[in-house]
Chains A and B, each alone.
Chain A
């Protein structure tokens, strides 16, 4: 009896091992499997004919959009898609987003498994370039409407030899600081423009018992994207510094970079208590509840904040080191849309992409999503005052993009991931700004020849 028990229990354990390992190791068991399979298939009515054949006229085709913008679900389903469907009644479009942090992994898995949607929202630069190289995205050189975009707009979604464009640029976002006007007015504070003014504002607010700066480091990317890449361009002179990194004439151990991290370290005493475990949604909620004065972030927050905050919102641009310095802003080409090369509805997908390239879409998108600024040459009037203010910075300051996005994140260790990690560690006080520079530089030198 006992012996039997032992044998049976051993079998149980063994099967556990196999089950567990099989589950972890099998490439077929991708986490994407838990998501509803993307509707690459036509709806039930058209299912009878082979899915690869173009459907006969009059039949309705469903296109699915893959995206990481789950915040925009209602805007797509209520505003953008109905406008398109009104024009093209026999195409039905479904917006199917996944969580931002998981999007790349989920999308790659879906593409490899052949279950991805017909239209793919493109991350800028290498992630999408790699998809194009692997044949998952099609070239859109001859797409009607692609001529509406300038070279800068297309730069994030073009091959290195500038020959093939594979995504239709949709929008860029601009980094900056939001602030609570009511709190500023209460203490008679002005929008800070220099580093000194900014630190003084933080100190005053702290002395008055407010939470001066809202930001958490738990998700790591906020520290890099909304901290490092937000204020950094003023130190490394925007494009000049970014190109110097690519050429290898500048290093992350140089003064501008260490100074940027030093600023982040100096912010730490003004952050909410327990910011080390504070996540992005915590920060958003804290700020919109009026419990913090300043929130370093970007224009993509406008619509959410305008809806949720019960106070007067203001924005100011990243501070410069000394009064009168040339200012730089991070005006990041962020979103585009491409076509799944294996879609059975290529014609319809192209129709949709042409519409995305049109002036009508630019105006609709920019106004439905204030804070996402169109990249096409279309003249778009924005209704939102905050969005207009963000856009006005393009006149005063020089634009640049995040320095880790073009070319520099092609190797191991991945520069973007490294910047997340060290920026969060600097804010947590577990790494000095000099160490951060040294670690990032060492990582980059390992694989990037010009450095």
Chain B
């Protein structure tokens, strides 16, 4: 199993798997546009003991009115075997652009929240999470 193998090899003997490129991950959503790194806050513990369940909240500065609200929130990971963690649809009836859940993380990485507002623009926020025990999701 992946976890056992990793623990047995001394550090640096085996190169860690390369993280995926962010632009390739958000490209299909934004249509190639680069999301603005503003308004979005990803709240996670800086150090997660166990990657199997990491609390994660996405908070977006938005009045959530008919004319200006958050439409979509996409959670991306650049190290999980499936980078798309989850996608949420909100609207002006959501009162607050604030969603929280618990995620699996396959090792220390940056987690990104990609947010689309009602004017069609994309925003992003990231959080660095140090995972001491990974979720071991690799088939390797």
- Verify that A and B bind, or say they do not: no
Q: Which residues of B contact A (CB under 8 A)?
A: none
Q: Which residues of A contact B (CB under 8 A)?
A: none
